[in-house]
Amino acid sequence: MSAKEKSAARPPVHERLRRLLFLVPYVSRHPGITVDALARELSISREELLEELDLLTMVGRPPFQPDDYIDIYVENERVYVDLDQRLSAPPRLTASEAAALAAAAELLRPAAGGALESALHKLEKVIPPQARARFKEMQQKIDAGVVAPYELQPLVGAIAQRREVEFDYFSSNRGVSEPRSVRPLELFSHRGQWYLSAFDNARGDERLFRVDRLQNLTVTDRTFPPAQARSARVPNPAAHGDVRVRFSKVVAPYVRERFGDDARPAPDGAVDVLVSGESERWLAQWVLSFGGEAWVLEPESARRSVERAAQASLESKA
Amino acid sequence: MNRTERLLDLVALLLDAREPITWAELREHFPDDYGKGSDEAAERKFERDKAELLELGIPIRWVVGDDEKRDGYVVDRESYYLPEVGLTPEELAVLYTAGSAALASGAFPGAQDLAHALRKIGFFAGREVATPKVRMELGPVNVDSAQVAATLEVLWAAAASRKYVELTYFSPRSAETTRRRVDPYGLALRRGVWSLVGYCHLRKGVRTFHVHRMRDVTANAARPRSPDFEVPQDFRLQDYVATFPWQHRFHAPIEVTLELRGELAALAPRFFADQPTAPTGDGQGTQVTVRATFLEGLLRYALSLGPGCRVVAPADAAARWRELLTKVRDLHSDAERGAA
């Protein structure tokens, strides 16, 4: 889809007006804000901002006498507006703005607890009365209800205050729970799972933790200096692998969708993917999760370990 | 005068006005825009401008005068200006955290709306709201998020104004590509994947489409302000999208009992999203009862948890679980390889 088609969905005039009606009150609330800071706040480039400021100097009200224009100007890289009573505050939230915000807020439910409910309640009150029905209607049209573990909220707080946390972590690679003491750096949701990126004190390195696998979380009083998180990524199992897994024709389209070119064509509509065999346990459980539509071709040792895992499940006692 | 400038002038004029602005005054104030040509053409032009302002949340309306006041257009200042929302720091943090994580994913329906909403709620809060270190990534791995973002914008605008869309859809199940017309009812995010739920004119029913499997999505551009369809009263978005691997909307629910032992026992509520649990008879494990509408999905999920998790009831579910395990085992045994 081209950028042109995208803009066809909503005329640029709409976007510009919205921005300008925010810009004037914002500058009057933050007189002397730098051009760069203002551009950042509006998520536009410096050049775009200067163009907007140019346009604003031409805005006025009939009969367009000198005093009838918005007096906004840049002086030594700083932006000022002569107090403009008309545009002292931005317009209220539109129905679409409120609906998009409410939908995004769902990402943190139920971790956000009461704060989310009360925030949405207050939000609804500042939507213009005539837009409320439409807000309700639009709220029904979007649902970003990601499963959010309860630990999310204390972790967000610990990251913000740079406080170390402790928890018991269940590592599915090893199948055991162990106590950890970490400096929490960043939270992110990947394929619907929440991960914590943190500096592990005992291991002296940054590690990834699945938030739904940690228990008995305590936020300690120990603070730590600001650190730049490396924007951790969940490893792609097909990134560097030596274990060849074959996927039947039935699941091949989904595997191709997930792994792209790393899924190589094999006979009978099947595909092969080379994955990491670093964790035997992970490999066996991953192959098992395809319920017989995936199997290891090589190496022999990996085949044996999947076979053993399946046998172990069959023999597990009730 | 360009349109953005004219609309801003209109806002400035109406916000400043002490009394209603008559149509004659508007024509006089904007001679190049509303003053020229026929009355009808000028009025149409103004109506389009007015509609745009209404969409921006500017409460412009026509009032009928009386002895004191004349007829004309007004903007009600009280309902124009954003008041102090009065959010507590905690509430503000929740909205900021969630909102910026959604924007960071690179694809969120109404991303521009969301960005503006965040600015507005931060307006009175000052500049001390820190950007939280929370983000969201979309899956599956190979998603082109720019493409998903562009598609979502089209779908969001179409769903909001109830205009139908046309799209080319790839179905992995049939490995076929079809061109369809869909009435977009709503958008849902599950496990990092955005879906559109809507009435499919090709299949004559409500269907769910993954946004990343769509190509060439266009909304009906004819008569943008009049809706093409109604969303049925009883429609609920969440009925059409699965949150957990054991959910699917086509089957009747069954109760499946699983046992978790060893290290897994304590994690049962985590693994099964707070479905009811109880200790096993010997007190060594945890029994969890899952209301499943998609048995095959539940069984595969159970298999992925390893030997600490077994399916115990009902009998046919347990048998199917063993059958899958046997199949995987045999696929990896020497005998099977010899046959291949």
Q: Which three-class secondary structure string do you get for A46-64?
A: HHHHHHHHHHHCCCECCCC
Cβ separation of A1 and B154 shorter than 8 Å?
A: yes
* Percentage of chain A exceeding pLDDT 70: 90
* Percentage of chain B exceeding pLDDT 70: 94
The yes-or-no verdict on residue A283 having pLDDT over 70 is yes
Q: Do B261 and B288 form a contact (C-beta atoms < 8 A)? A: no
Average pLDDT value for chain A: 85
- Mean pLDDT to the nearest integer, A245-267: 91
- Mean pLDDT to the nearest integer, A280-293: 92
Residue with tokens 């970003």: A144
Residue with tokens 């990601």: A146
Lowest mean pLDDT among A170-184, B132-146, B207-221, B234-248: B132-146
Average pLDDT value for chain B: 87
Q: State pLDDT tens for residues B119-164.
A: 998 888 765 555 567 777 776 656 777 888 889 989 988 998 899 9
Residue with tokens 């595909």: A271
Domains, chain B, in order of start with CATH, read: 3-80 (1.10.10.10), 83-137 (no CATH), 145-235 (2.30.30), 254-332 (3.30.70)
DSSP code of residue B20: P
Domains, chain A, in order of start with CATH, read: 3-87 (1.10.10.10), 95-139 (no CATH), 152-223 (2.30.30), 243-315 (no CATH)
- Mean pLDDT to the nearest integer, B77-98: 85
- Mean pLDDT to the nearest integer, A192-207: 89
Lowest mean pLDDT among A98-102, A211-215, B248-252, B335-339: B335-339
The secondary element (H helix, E strand) that includes residue B65 is none
Q: Do B99 and A105 form a contact (C-beta atoms < 8 A)? A: yes
Candidates B60, B75, B91, B294, partner chain A, best to mutate (most A CBs within 10 A): B91
Q: State pLDDT tens for residues A86-98.
A: 788 899 988 889 9
Q: What are phi and psi of A173, to 5 degrees?
A: -65, -35
Instruction: Extract the tokens encoding B330.
Output: 């045999």
The secondary element (H helix, E strand) that includes residue B153 is helix B145-161
- At a CB cut-off of 8 Å and minimum separation 6, what does A205 contact? A199
- Mean pLDDT to the nearest integer, B305-316: 92
Strand B205-210 vs strand B193-200: parallel, antiparallel, or unpaired? antiparallel
Lowest mean pLDDT among A232-246, B284-298, B321-335: A232-246
pLDDT at B76: 86
Report A:147-186 residues touching B (Cβ under 8 A). 147, 149, 156, 159-160, 170, 172, 175-177, 185-186
pLDDT at B175: 79
Q: Give the CA distances from residue A246 to residues A157, A161, A258, A293, B329, in Å, rounded to whole numbers and listed in that order.
A: 44, 47, 14, 8, 15
- Mean pLDDT to the nearest integer, B193-208: 93
What is the DSSP code string of B170-217?
EETTTTEEEEEEEEEEEEEEETTEEEEEEEETTTTEEEEEEGGGEEEE
Q: Give the CA distances from residue A117 to residues A122, B121, B162, B210, in Å, rounded to whole numbers and listed in that order.
A: 9, 16, 28, 29
The yes-or-no verdict on residue B90 having pLDDT over 50 is yes
CB under 8 Å, gap of 24 or more: what pairs does A253-262 form? A253/B172, A253/B173, A253/B175, A254/B172, A257/B140, A257/B142, A257/B172, A257/B212, A257/B213, A258/B139, A258/B140, A258/B141, A258/B142, A259/B141, A259/B142, A260/B141, A260/B142, A262/A238
* Percentage of chain B exceeding pLDDT 90: 36
The yes-or-no verdict on residue A256 having pLDDT over 50 is yes
Which chain A residues have a beta carbon less than 8 Å from that of B114? 97, 100-101, 104
Distance between CA atoms of residues A261 and A272, nearest Å: 10
Q: Chain A: nearest CA to B118, how far in angstroms?
A: 7
Q: Give percent helix, percent strand, percent coil of chain A, each to the nearest 5.
A: 45, 25, 30
Q: Considering only alpha carbons, which residue of chain B is nearest residue A303? A: B332
- Mean pLDDT to the nearest integer, A168-190: 87
pLDDT at A4: 37
pLDDT band at B249 (very low <50, low <70, confident <90, very high): low
Which chain B residues have a beta carbon less than 8 Å from that of A112? 94, 98
Q: Strands of A243-247's sheet, edge to edge? A: A264-265, A271-275, A243-247, A294-298
Q: Do B21 and B14 form a contact (C-beta atoms < 8 A)? A: yes
